A = this chain, B = another copy of it.
Amino acid sequence: MGGLLDLTPEERATLDRLGERERSIRRGAVLLRENDRTSELFVLLSGNMMSYVLLDDGSRQILRFLFPGDLLATAAIGYSSSPETLVAQTESVVCPIDRVELLTMAQQHPRLLLTLVAIEQAERTALIDRLAGLGRTSARARVAAVLLDIRDRMRRGDPAIANSFVLSLTQEEIGDATGLTAVHVNRMLRTLEDDALIARSGGRVTVLNEPSLRRAANYVDRQATMDLSWMPAPAA
């Protein structure tokens, strides 16, 4: 959150104090289940998590893969029960924030709260892109899009990652994220490999031809980096 804005010492102090509490979650453990009562949101500090909903026929739609820095369970601001399930994919650490704290945060550090809202907007934009992808693109495009998305987000956490990365998702998970079956995900990965857009070995994926992969993914570059420069520094 600090990277988006030049924080004043007071803002930074508040943020640091907020970040003191920590809760760790074991691999595979559920932080929050659909319809659970909830009154706090979380910031993912480390690890990987995902959110999903279950339909009554038992099928699962994965909503988002979560990386450090992401906000979790923000629905708590408007609802008392969670619309989604949150699960840790690896050992993870989150920082809980009670929603009542947001009120004082708004008052004392409005820029911090609005930064939080801005991050929500980024997630919203990501949801929009996923929606368009599910509604309007082919299986091949959706699978390619997941690969690029994961690669980009891993890179943000570790700039050393270039074109090769460990995709720690099962094909079933990719399917549940893209609205496909695991079998068909496998077929699509195969065609991407046969066409030399990617290479695979073990759990590792290497992007061989990024321009083509982007084209295959129907990648819309919305040239939108977050912009919070409109927020003036606080008076004192």
Contact = CB atoms under 8 A, between A and B. Distances in A.
A128 interface: yes
B127 A128 contact: yes
Contacts of A121: 74-75, 77-79
A59 interface: yes
Contact of A55 (B56, B83, B125, B220): B220
A63 interface: yes
A230 B128 contact: no
Contacts of A123: 124
Given A78-B121, A106-B114, A125-B79, A61 B100 contact: no
A119 B55 contact: no
Interface in A58-83: 59-61, 63, 74-75, 77-81, 83
B81 A224 contact: yes
A49 to B, nearest CB: 16
Interface in A71-126: 74-75, 77-81, 83-84, 99-100, 102-104, 106-107, 110-111, 113-114, 117-125
Contacts of A79: 121-122, 125, 224, 226-227
A222 interface: yes
Interface of A: 35, 39, 53, 55-57, 59-61, 63, 74-75, 77-81, 83-84, 99-100, 102-104, 106-107, 110-111, 113-114, 117-125, 127-132, 134-137, 176, 178-179, 218, 220, 222-224, 226-228, 230-232
